[in-house]
């Protein structure tokens, strides 16, 4: 019998626990650990930021659902991974021993990298967590009461997630239009990407042309190659670089409200383990999602190390998107199963990106196979149907995480017909 511990119950960890339970025999024990007792559907946080969703719409208590499937759940923060002795030290003092550890801890939101940024004592907001999105909404309501203002939305250097910045700029635009006060507000996108629509992916299809056109149509100005260096109350300091990485222009942007996706780093508990991570604290994995130093540690999701798609004047990271994460999960589950049957791991995820970006009343969908170029498929389409598809996806994913099936057969069949598979 083996004890498999999944650390982190987000978009990667929840399906990992369910899929392990489905694939492994009942003699093996599975424990899921999360620092909070609830799951949050991160892609809906931008809607929380403008009050279109409340906390209860996009979160649910984990224990009730996973325990039905025979998965143990621990709601506590892991403070130390003792990788040499296969043990976790929890905040409450408990020690949890494991045979296999699956790390799905997501990112540390590294606000410290830009002075004066972040929602904890800084002057910018985030929508990366439901708490952060709620904090934005409180200040947004006050700004609406004032009747006018300048809202800055974007991504800091070393961010490795850009889609939500575009989504949020467009969602705020839509919300203000619905309130019939869009003409009283300016919106500016400030991003570390080298061009609009780069997305940390070197672009997908015509993402540049389509997103530029959309921003123009919504009267959203933009600054790219933006190295935000400091934020003060109501003022953002941005060095705009040229394509050679030289200073092109210094900006001091006055704003009333700002939502900036922060730089991403590994969470403390993993960065502290010698030999586990790259210099930015992301867990190193081989083709099988397995750490090269500690062979009984697997990892998936935002917490893994992936090199940037290309060298950009301002540092940008490659995003890890939902379906890509699920493909990593399926691969590692099959690999652990193989190891338990005395075989060598042989499964590799496709790392396909399949994304729906909401623009409030329309949206953009893209498929990139594989996510890292050169690609076999690069498809980018916009339309009102994406907004509806994103709402449907939210309901579908939340239901899936409550019911405990990571990849129902109809999902697998439909995606297969589209040429999209989780495993190579
Ligand atoms: C605002 C936003 C919107 C996004 N929208 C989309 C989208 O529409 N489509 C898409 O494909 N991708 C989207 N993404 C990208 C990606 O899918 C998400 O970031 C996804 O949530 C990442 O999953 P994860 O499992 O790697 O990390 P997370 O979902 O962040 O989960 C990590 C979990 O680990 C827990 N944890 C961390 N450290 C510890 C510890 N020491 N002890 C115990 N628990 C710990 C955390 O509390 C958290 O619950 C979005 C990202 C953001 C930030």
Q: What is the pLDDT of residues 47-61, one digit of tens each?
A: 999 999 999 999 999
pLDDT greater than 80 at residue 406: no
Which one of 103, 322, 422 would you pick to mutate in the ligand 1 pocket, going by the greatest count of ligand atoms within 8 A of its CB? 322
Could you say which DSSP state residue 309 is in?
A: S
pTM for the full predicted model: 0.97
CA distance 61 to 37: 6
Average pLDDT over residues 207-224: 97
Average pLDDT over residues 239-263: 98
Percent of the chain at pLDDT > 70 equals: 100
Q: Is the separation of the CB atoms in 285 and 306 below 8 Å?
A: no
**In the annotation, is 277 catalytic?**
no
Distance 131 CA to ligand 1 centre (A): 13
pLDDT greater than 90 at residue 412: no
CATH number for the segment(s) 110-263: 3.50.50.60
pLDDT greater than 90 at residue 14: yes
Average pLDDT over residues 264-293: 97
Residue in the structure block whose two tokens are 């990571």: 406
pLDDT greater than 80 at residue 384: yes
Spot the catalytic one: 78, 128, 277, 355: 355
pLDDT of residue 310: 87
pLDDT greater than 90 at residue 371: no
What 3 state SS string does 16-31 have?
HHHHHHHHCCCCCEEE
Residue 320, CA distances (Å) to 289, 352, 355 in order: 14, 10, 11
CA distance 205 to 4: 40
Could you say which DSSP state residue 344 is in?
A: P
pLDDT greater than 80 at residue 284: yes
pLDDT greater than 90 at residue 241: yes
pLDDT of residue 380: 86
Of 139, 13, 132, nearest in space to 71 by CA: 13
Closest CA to ligand 1's atom 4: 43
| 141: helix, strand or coil | helix
pLDDT of residue 376: 87
Domain edges within the chain: 3-108+264-346, 110-263
- Sheet order of strands, 78-82 included: 78-82, 87-90, 95-97
CB-CB neighbours of 179 under 10 Å: 12
Please list the residues that pair with 236 across neighbouring strands: 231, 253
Which one of 6, 7, 8 would you pick to mutate in the ligand 1 pocket, going by the greatest count of ligand atoms within 8 A of its CB? 8
Please list the residues that pair with 220 across neighbouring strands: 187
CA distance 106 to 8: 7
Average pLDDT over residues 367-373: 84
pLDDT of residue 420: 81
Of 184, 196, 194, nearest in space to 222 by CA: 196
Start-end of H helices in 180-285: 207-217, 268-271
pLDDT, averaged across the chain: 95
Q: 254: pLDDT confidence band, cut at 50, 70 and 90?
A: very high
Q: 415: pLDDT confidence band, cut at 50, 70 and 90?
A: confident
In CATH, 3-108+264-346 is 3.30.390.30? no
pLDDT greater than 90 at residue 144: yes
CA distance 180 to 184: 9
CA distance 230 to 239: 10
Q: 369: pLDDT confidence band, cut at 50, 70 and 90?
A: confident
Average pLDDT over residues 304-330: 93
Tokens of 136: 């934005």
Q: Is the separation of the CB atoms in 165 and 153 below 8 Å?
A: yes
Start-end of H helices in 127-205: 130-146, 163-178
CB-CB neighbours of 107 under 10 Å: 24
Distance 42 CA to ligand 1 centre (A): 6
Contacts 24+ apart (CB under 8 A), 344-348: 345/288, 345/290, 346/288, 347/288, 347/423, 347/424, 348/287, 348/288, 348/423, 348/424
**In the annotation, is 161 catalytic?**
yes
Please list the residues that pair with 78 across neighbouring strands: 90
pLDDT greater than 80 at residue 327: yes
pLDDT greater than 80 at residue 198: yes
């Amino acid at each position: 019998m083996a004890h498999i511990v999944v650390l982190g119950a987000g978009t990667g960890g929840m399906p990992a626990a369910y899929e392990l339970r489905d694939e492994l025999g009942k003699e093996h024990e599975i424990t899921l650990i999360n620092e909070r007792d609830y799951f949050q559907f991160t892609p809906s946080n931008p809607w929380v930021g403008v009050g279109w969703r409340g906390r209860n719409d996009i979160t649910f208590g984990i224990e009730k659902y996973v325990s039905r499937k025979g998965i143990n759940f621990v709601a506590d923060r892991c403070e130390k991974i003792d990788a040499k002795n296969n043990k976790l030290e929890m905040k409450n003092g408990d020690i949890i021993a494991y045979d296999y550890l699956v790390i799905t801890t997501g990112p540390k939101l590294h606000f410290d990298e830009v002075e004066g940024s972040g929602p904890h004592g800084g002057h910018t907001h985030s929508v990366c967590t439901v708490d952060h999105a709620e904090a934005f909404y409180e200040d947004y309501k006050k700004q609406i009461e004032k009747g006018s203002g300048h809202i800055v939305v974007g991504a800091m250097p070393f961010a490795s997630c850009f889609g939500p910045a575009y989504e949020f700029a467009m969602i705020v635009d839509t919300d203000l239009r619905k309130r019939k006060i869009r003409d009283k507000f300016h919106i500016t996108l400030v991003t570390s990407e080298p061009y609009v629509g780069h997305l940390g992916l070197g672009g997908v299809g015509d993402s540049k042309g389509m997103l530029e056109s959309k921003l123009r149509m919504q009267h959203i100005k933009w600054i790219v190659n933006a190295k935000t260096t400091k934020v003060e109350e109501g003022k953002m300091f941005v060095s705009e670089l040229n394509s050679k990485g030289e200073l092109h222009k210094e900006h001091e942007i006055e704003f009333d409200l700002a939502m900036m996706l922060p730089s991403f780093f590994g969470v403390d508990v993993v960065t502290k383990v010698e030999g586990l991570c790259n210099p930015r604290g992301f867990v190193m994995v081989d083709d099988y999602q397995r750490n090269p130093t500690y062979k009984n540690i697997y990892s998936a999701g935002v917490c893994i190390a992936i090199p940037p798609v290309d060298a950009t004047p301002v540092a940008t990271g490659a995003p890890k998107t939902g379906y890509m994460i699920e493909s990593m999960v399926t691969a590692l589950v099959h690999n652990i199963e193989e190891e338990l049957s005395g075989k060598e791991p042989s499964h590799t995820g496709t790392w396909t990106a399949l994304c729906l970006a909401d623009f409030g009343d329309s949206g953009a969908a893209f498929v990139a196979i594989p996510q890292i170029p050169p690609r076999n498929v690069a498809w980018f389409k916009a339309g009102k149907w994406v907004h509806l598809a994103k709402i449907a996806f939210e309901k579908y994913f939340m239901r899936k995480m409550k019911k405990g099936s990571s990849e129902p057969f109809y999902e697998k069949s439909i995606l297969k017909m589209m040429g999209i598979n989780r495993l190579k």
